[in-house]
Amino acid sequence: MDDRKLEVLRAIVEDYVSTQEPVGSKAVAQRHTLGVSAATVRNDMAYLEEAGYIQQPHTSAGRIPTAKGYRLFVDRLGKIKPLSAAERRAVHRFLSEAIDLDDVVTRTVRLLAQLTHQVAVVQYPSLNRSSVRHLELVSLTPTRLMLVMITDTGRVEQRYVELPAELSEDDVLELRRLANEQLQGKPLADAPRAIADLVDLVRPELHATASALARVLLETVVARTEERVVVAGAANLTRAGNFFAGSMRPILEALEEEVVLMQLLGRADSNALLTVRIGDENHLDDFRETTVVTAGYGPGSVVGHMGVLGPTRMDYPGTIAAVRAVARYVSEILEQNR
Amino acid sequence: MDDRKLEVLRAIVEDYVSTQEPVGSKAVAQRHTLGVSAATVRNDMAYLEEAGYIQQPHTSAGRIPTAKGYRLFVDRLGKIKPLSAAERRAVHRFLSEAIDLDDVVTRTVRLLAQLTHQVAVVQYPSLNRSSVRHLELVSLTPTRLMLVMITDTGRVEQRYVELPAELSEDDVLELRRLANEQLQGKPLADAPRAIADLVDLVRPELHATASALARVLLETVVARTEERVVVAGAANLTRAGNFFAGSMRPILEALEEEVVLMQLLGRADSNALLTVRIGDENHLDDFRETTVVTAGYGPGSVVGHMGVLGPTRMDYPGTIAAVRAVARYVSEILEQNR
DNA sequence: ACTGGCACTCGCGGACCGGGAGTGCCAAAC
DNA sequence: GTTTGGCACTCCCGGTCCGCGAGTGCCAGT
């Protein structure tokens, strides 16, 4: 593959992204200083089309990149353009004003949406990789407790516990003490065993109650691997030419399905710093025209993913830079709470 | 205003809502058994138009209701049609499976969206009207605490507290004990005074720390009146004919602005069981074509609002019934946790 | 007061058409 | 052999035109 052919592809991608219209040979020849004539560009275009990097919407129209074309662009041509110093400062300031973990996540997702003008998705720090900092039991009614679990990533989980029998305040305190002794400091991955032991530690009269509690605890740390995800910037879907009305519906629906969102974020290879999935690389029919850019974040190791989602025809260098920068800053913030 | 004229208006509203097309005199005369001819209906229509209840999109087209027309329909003509027994059972079952307050809210908002095929909005139980059940302090780093507040409505609030000096574990325990003694059982409205007293109760060495804590506590109970709101069913905006593409954008944007959402929900007259705001009654330019149906909910007294939002051209009887039923069930559920 | 008849209005969809952008190919030039 | 200018061809896009049909307002008759 010729060097100049690559330049032609880059020109087509860049122009198409900015104008949203098929780009013709003449435009390429004069807007980008390739030093060749339109006719030459035409020959290269014919080659690129043959090779599957670009295509014509219809005869006698300009060319637009295919998913394969974008892929090549991202892999070999896109020099990511870092954020400006001012932008970086703004990101930093905005994130460091967060008042709790919820707020960190909320601010992050808004920031991403605003920087990239796309739909942003942020996953809460995964429970699996954190450990228990504190358990709190509060009685709501004589036969109903609320269990609150706080993890060292600052996440708070709450659940109701239905009790088989009435429970005195003293009993609540005892259960709380025991549960904390058993679980404090334990990584969630190791928690199930400790929870199982819990039942044996209590007085026989409390057995039934303790096992109800244990069941809920178990659900909290294990079954509820259904991770929480937040979304922002849905309005960006309506940006001129981002998506035609018809294809918006399924995307809006997907944004309310945690399963789909997790799939989009989670399929990311955890090792990679940053993943770009273009069009059908998402393996989801509704996202055939959609690109997802994701990055892992976390203090040291990856505890969650964040990303943005937009039309395949997006500003890759800018988007990639933004996602990477935000992921980095969020990781820093989390690091400070270790 | 003639009785028959009202019937004609009802016919126009009902037909327009179901077909989404301007309705003509002939259709009204034959679809609804008024016992008069099309010509008579035409005369009535002329009157209704004169009076501002209906209008023609253009000459020689059928009529569509105006906001004023819908208002009259809602006030005097709409017999709300209650949910079927099966629906009621389903609602009840779905809501009673909730595992915590978050889950109640999440399920509620989804339920509303699904029942009404509209965008649903649910406000978390307001902090102002609940009281403190428990405070928990967890040290994250030597100079950083996490404050977790649990209210008797089951809501959990968390905040970071930056400390002026390092704090021992014992000190954390003492602060926690004092804070709980001061605040437990207090309605949030009375909390500020109790918080102020807190500083005077601690040992002089802890003064600075206690006041940092007090400041955050105060923010938590007061300043953070910015209430939390959740949304679901955004995809319903794309339902055929619900909104034309152009007007969707500002609505999607508004759905991410808590301030606007609170305005939509909160302007509801708290005393009214159910509020319907049609078109410009919302006093928001972007919602001139939008109707918001809201209801208060809560155990006994109103602690929050919920509602749905859709085109003025909506199924009022069905929507109103659904919102009312869901609000009622949620109130029941909350009642059980008293 | 209601009804049938009738002339009139006007939006909508389809057919038609010219301009223009873009292409592929070819023969000549570097 | 690569590049280039020329040229014929394709086909989308936007505008115009037109006939149909739904719906109306009015009027005269019951």
Q: List, for residues A281-300, the tens digit of each pLDDT value.
A: 999 999 999 999 999 998 88
- Report, in ranges, which bases of strand D sit under 7 Å from a protein C-beta: 3-6, 9-12, 21-27
Task: Compute the distance between CA of residue B98 and CA of residue B334 in angstroms, rounded to an integer.
Answer: 11
Q: Is the pLDDT of residue A225 over 70?
A: no
Tell whether B278 is within 8 A of chain A (Cβ). no
Number of H helices, E strands in chain B: 12, 10
Task: Write the pLDDT tens digit of every residue in B43-99.
Answer: 999 999 999 999 998 888 899 999 999 999 999 887 888 899 999 999 999 999 998
Given pLDDT bands bounded at 50, 70 and 90, which one contains residue A271? low
pLDDT at A154: 72
pLDDT at A148: 87
| Residue A320 · residue A78 · CB < 8 Å | yes
User: Per-residue pLDDT averaged across B224-234, rounded?
Assistant: 81
pLDDT at B290: 94
| Nearest residue in chain A measured CA to CA from B143 | A337
Per-residue flag: B24 CB under 7 A of strand D: yes
Task: Write the pLDDT tens digit of every residue in B315-331.
Answer: 999 999 999 999 999 99
Given pLDDT bands bounded at 50, 70 and 90, which one contains residue A131? confident
Q: What are phi and psi of A296, to 5 degrees?
A: -85, 155
Q: Is the pLDDT of residue A250 over 80?
A: yes
Q: Is the pLDDT of residue A127 over 90?
A: no
| Residue B279 · residue B291 · CB < 8 Å | yes
Q: Is the pLDDT of residue B241 over 70?
A: no
Per-residue flag: A248 CB under 7 A of strand D: no
**Residue of B95, B119, B140, B180 to mutate for A, most A C-beta atoms under 10 A:** B140
pLDDT at B309: 96
pLDDT at B267: 58
Higher-confidence residue of B244 and A102: namely A102
Average of per-residue pLDDT values in chain A: 88
| Nearest residue in chain B measured CA to CA from A239 | B249
Helix axes A169-183 and A207-221, enclosed angle (nearest 10): 50
Take residue B190 and report the two structure tokens written for it: 């009375």
Task: Write the pLDDT tens digit of every residue in B266-297.
Answer: 754 556 789 999 999 999 999 999 999 999 99
Tell me the CA–C1' distance in angstroms for A61 and C18: 18
Given pLDDT bands bounded at 50, 70 and 90, which one contains residue B100? confident
Q: Is the pLDDT of residue A227 over 80?
A: no
Number of other CB atoms surrounding residue A71 within 10 Å: 19
Instruction: Measure B131 CA to nearest chain A CA, in Å.
Output: 12
Q: Is the pLDDT of residue B113 over 60?
A: yes
pLDDT at B225: 53
| Nearest residue in chain B measured CA to CA from A237 | B249
B337–A141 CB contact, under 8 Å = yes
Q: Locate the DSSP E strands across B98-152.
A: 119-123, 132-141, 144-151
For residue B322, the SS3 value is helix
Task: Write the pLDDT tens digit of every residue in A158-213.
Answer: 888 999 989 888 898 889 899 999 998 888 888 888 999 988 888 988 899 999 99
Size of the A and B interface in Cβ pairs below 8 Å: 99
Q: Which of A99, A100, A136 sits opposite B134 (nearest CB)?
A: A136
Tell me the CA–C1' distance in angstroms for A76 and D15: 45
Q: Is the pLDDT of residue A16 over 80?
A: yes
> How distant is the alpha carbon of residue B32 from its chain centre?
35
User: Per-residue pLDDT averaged across B169-186, rounded?
Assistant: 89
Given pLDDT bands bounded at 50, 70 and 90, which one contains residue A273? confident
Task: Write the pLDDT tens digit of every residue in B116-134.
Answer: 999 999 998 877 777 888 8
C-alpha distances (whole Å) from A89 to each of A93, A325, B310 are: 6, 11, 40
C-alpha distances (whole Å) from B169 to each of B103, B184, B193, B234 are: 33, 21, 27, 47
Residues in Cβ contact with B191 at an 8 Å cutoff, skipping those fewer than 6 apart = B132, B183, B217, B221, B222
pLDDT at A137: 86
pLDDT at B293: 96
pTM for this entry: 0.87
pLDDT at A144: 86
Task: Compute the distance between CA of residue A148 and CA of residue B156 in angstroms, rounded to an integer.
Answer: 9
pLDDT at B300: 82
Number of other CB atoms surrounding residue A60 within 10 Å: 7
A-chain CB neighbours of B159 within 8 Å are: 99-100
Task: Compute the distance between CA of residue A279 and CA of residue A290 in angstroms, rounded to an integer.
Answer: 5
Q: Is the pLDDT of residue A116 over 70?
A: yes
pLDDT at B185: 86
Sign of the Cα torsion A304, A308, A309, A314 reads negative
B245–A238 CB contact, under 8 Å = yes
Whole-number percent of chain B with pLDDT over 70? 95
Task: Write the pLDDT tens digit of every residue in A44-67.
Answer: 999 999 999 999 998 888 999 999
| Residue A31 · residue A6 · CB < 8 Å | no
Task: Write the pLDDT tens digit of every residue in B198-226.
Answer: 888 889 888 999 999 999 998 887 755 55
Task: Compute the distance between CA of residue B208 and CA of residue B210 in angstroms, rounded to an integer.
Answer: 5
pLDDT at B223: 56
Tell whether B286 is within 8 A of chain A (Cβ). no
